[in-house]
Amino acid sequence: MKEPALRKVTILLPRDLVKRATAATGKGLTPTIRQGLEAVARAAAYDGLRQLRGKVRLSVAVEALRED
């Protein structure tokens, strides 16, 4: 499996936000920042899916799926 490309960044963050975020995750700064960025990316993907609501026709009956 190919290792993902990494990018080193320098950012300025409020100390209280860093303290609260790392306390909430129970992890160090890098994993906490990574988790936050992944949450932002997921939210954008969900917003895109929400915009499709009512615009996509499914050919499978919901009742048939529930029988499984």
pLDDT tens, residue by residue, 6-16? 999 999 999 99
Structure tokens at 19: 């303290």
Q: Residue 24: its pLDDT value, please?
A: 97
Q: pLDDT averaged over the chain?
A: 89
Confidence of residue 68 (pLDDT cuts 50, 70, 90): low
Q: Residue 33: its pLDDT value, please?
A: 96
21 Cβ contact list (under 8 Å, min separation 6): 32, 36
pTM of the model: 0.65
Task: Return the closest-CA partner of residue 11 out of 42, 40, 39, 32.
Answer: 32
